[in-house]
Chains A and B, each alone.
Chain A
Amino acid sequence: MKSARLLRGGVIWALLAMLLVWSLAPVAVMLFTSFKPGSDIYQVPVRLLPDTWTLENYRTVFTGSNMPTALWNSIVVGLLVSAATLIFCFSAGYALARFRFRAARPLALFILLGQVVPLTVVLLPLYQFVNAMNLLDTTIGVAFAHLAITVPLVTWMVRNQVAAIPIDLEEAAMIDGGSRFDAVTYVTLPICAPGLAAAGMFAFLQSWHEFLFASVMTSSTSARTAPVSLTEFAGEFSVDWGATMAASVVLTLPIVVLFVALQRYFVAGLTGGAVKG
């Protein structure tokens, strides 16, 4: 009996170890390649660790490319997208969860349709929309385009979170003399806070790594976001893999730090309302 349990535990740990290697191997290759000089990247036999450690690739990224500006642009766009997503989606999600009207359910499903339409399909209309507002080649224009990605799913996330909160709590606040707005700000919002933090982070993540819209909506280096700026390291005839990997590390690190810091809220927020709604 004990040996069977040990065997089962061993198999589970082995599977978990394989999953870990499968997941982390590309990250390890990215990280260590970023510290390799050009001659080490293609050495045979292949080695994970550099023979000679160098920061040259990072120097290229920070002093010989537009990546610093692009990273700043990505942060600006991400924050704008997060803020706008939360404002729009909380309003919409709350309305869908709390107000009874004939088209509530079809409308909710219609919003979700935005999530299943391929991005290439909405690219041209969005481009024309952003162009009509004269926002092409601006960080605000990119943020507008990214809202098309974040709004549908976040609206649903928020709707489910609000629906999971007993309406009795809001009614109690209103019986005590508060308005609906008071009930929302004093009761619903504090309860929803972890979920909203997760939704905001989700929106930020979506915006942070988005490539297609950002590559089409921006033309100058002053508005390019970091994923688009990564392509600068691929020339007409060659790819600077060392610099590409260093830039990828720079691009990944803030997100990993953010995720680790807010992991508790993220998981709680994503599962909030999962059993009722």
Chain B
Amino acid sequence: MVVSRLRPILEDKGAMAGLGVILLFCLMALLAPWIAPHDPTTQNVRDAFQGPGARYWFGTDEFGRDVFSRVIHGARPALMIGVFSVVLSVVLGMPLGMLAGFVGGRFDTAVSAVVDVMMSFPSLLLALMVVTLLGSAPSMVVLAIGISHVPVFVRLARSSTLVVRELDFVAASRSFGARTGHILRRHVMPNVIGPTIVMATLGIAGAIREEAGLSFLGLGIQPPAPSWGNLIRDGVNAILHAPTLALLPGLVLTASVLAFNIVGDSVRDMLDPHDIAAAAAKRDRAR
């Protein structure tokens, strides 16, 4: 059902371009060691702060490391954290939201209250807090961003479930005494999964941006490992004499976020536009 509705995406040029860029980034991340012209951490102090050129496409940083190679390797933490943190928030948020919507009552009230509390925090701030408390290993960054996005998916799943719950066939199977888990899996999930996919695609865009933000503040991926955020941070330190160090990695970062946003938008348009317009507002709220 979802797949058939997604078919028009193949005819949407913008979405295809976005998908192409995402694919490119995935390849970049997978093949980084083979396609990067230099080792991302090898230093060549005498070549420090070279401008962009034939040998070093994006120039070199203070250690004489090739920034282009670092940007290529930076795709790895960006995509990994982007995808894993969203997977985490879906895995935590979707079942909780479905259950809350389906069971209703006090459980629903409690879940909604917690979600409200979490929503009153900008997710960057929430992530900042988690990283402060637990440290900034990549797994903690995933946890931090993942947790901060959970409420979005809870709300989304809950509202979609509320719609489905009242449908005749669901009510019928309920009255036949079908088990909650069974109903949720068979009837509710298929209706929740579509909007969730959209939100997840857009969520990856948000997560990549947030990882960059955390690393920019020095609280994300730690050097010498490259990440787009800490590349920009290093670049800003040298912005007076080597501005491309901040500008170029930033462009790559923006391009990847843009690609996910374009694809997410197109998928949104394909699927029922009304459900998802509401969902979009909720996603935005999480930012």
Chains A and B belong together in one complex: no
Residue positions of B touching A, CB distance < 8 A: none
Residue positions of A touching B, CB distance < 8 A: none
